[in-house]
Amino acid sequence: MTGKLTDKVAIVTGGARDIGRAVSLELAAAGAHVAVNTCHSPALGEKTVADIRAAGGAAILVPGDMTAQADVERLVSEARQAFGDAVHVLVNVTGGLVARRGLADMDEAFLNEVMRLNFNSTFLATKLVAAHMPAGGAIVNCASQAARDGGGPGAAAYASAKGAVMTFTRAMAKELGARGIRVNAVCPGMIDTTFHDTFTKDAVRAKVASETALGREGQAAEVGRFVAWLASEDASYVTGANFDVNGGAYFV
């Protein structure tokens, strides 16, 4: 991917850790100037930016809550101030499970929180970045295998929110395609991240990994490399697609 995104400006929401960090590193390695956003991991964000700079890349850290429009506006503004008026790549990684809750334990406030974190953040960043994205730009959203299969126990709200991300991806591919902007999504499966460290028991992780076609968990870097490809001109005729990155755990 070296040089495939030279001098392009990229924004990565949730770009400090795990998949977001991997995406930030891969985009920078391909030559992009990267605005790394984080809400709850400032130290990891600083490390991600430092690692990019140490490798000869350009990056800034912009803390902020991607469910708050003012913070998203500030992210876009700081990226443009640092690197130029146009934003060529947006990767929406911000999201999370929040908690595992079955239907009886969910209330509307919890549902709204999960939707806001996963879907509203994607909507806000897409809306505000698209206004500054030229033809040839690319948006990559982070959905989930949960959106394909309904998720594991207690993940109904998360799976539903990620399903909304998948549908939004298709809708934006149609709407923004008229301006030459491509919109795709990735649907990661069992990836070795702090998400699963927090919410998935070791025995469950081992069982799921053993049942994939490749017999293992994925690595964040494997998702990051695929996202960087989708953001590049190598994927110039690819839009409106939701790509499974799950080691063969689930086939559409």
Q: What is the dihedral of CA 229, 232, 234, 237, to 10 degrees?
A: 100
In Å, what is the CA distance from 111 to each residue of 115, 129, 181, 202? 6, 26, 31, 26
How long is the chain? 252
Give me the sign of the Cα torsion angle 234, 238, 240, 241. negative
Joined together, the tokens standing for residue 36 give 């790394």
Backbone angles phi, psi at 235, to 5 degrees: -110, 35
Catalytic residue among 83, 119, 158, 168: 158
Distance CA 117, CA 176 (A): 23
Distance CA 115, CA 158 (A): 7
Is 237 an active-site residue?
no
Distance CA 115, CA 160 (A): 8
- In 18-175, beta strands by DSSP E: 33-38, 58-63, 89-92, 138-142
Distance CA 19, CA 243 (A): 15
Task: Judge whether 226 and 153 are in contact, CB under 8 Å.
Answer: no
159 closest CA partner among 115, 205, 203: 115
Catalytic center residues:
158
